[in-house]
Amino acid sequence: MPSADRRIVKVRILDREYAFASKGEEADAHIQQVARLVDEKMREMGQAGGNTTAMQAAVLAGLEFADELLRMQRDVSSVEEDISERTNRLTESLGQLFREVEQATTAAGTGDTEDGAAD
């Protein structure tokens, strides 16, 4: 990364400062948001655990985040399956509808020709 583009974002997690390289204001905001979430979760774990060390709070917070991630991935997978099933049913319905329209059009075209020949 060229030195002109290099940015450093400082954040505080459990009253300790950390510095991260960043690639712009949007990345700065993202890093700060992530750090706030980590700080909040670690404080929550520390309060829930009573006499918890920063390392224990970090591990518990990591486990909470991993659990949440796995649940969300499972939810996304379930939604994707539902969308796929609905898409397949819609595709089948549209295919059937197009076949019926095509048959009706063909029958009407054949009927017109026969009617014209009979006149």
Report yes or no on whether pTM surpasses 0.85: no
Q: What is the mean pLDDT of residues 28-52?
A: 92
pLDDT at 1 (0 to 100): 45
Q: Which helix or strand (DSSP H or E) is residue 33 part of? A: helix 25-48
Higher-pLDDT residue of 27 and 119 is 27
What dihedral do alpha carbons 45, 50, 56, 58 form, nearest 10°?
30
pLDDT tens-digit readout, 1-16: 445 567 999 999 999 9
Residue 108 has pLDDT above 60, yes or no: yes
pLDDT tens-digit readout, 50-64: 888 999 999 999 999
Place 107 in a pLDDT band, splitting at 50, 70 and 90: confident
Q: What is the mean pLDDT of residues 15-35?
A: 94
Please enumerate, as own/partner, the contacts of 70-74 that have beta carbons within 8 Å and a separation of 24 or more: none
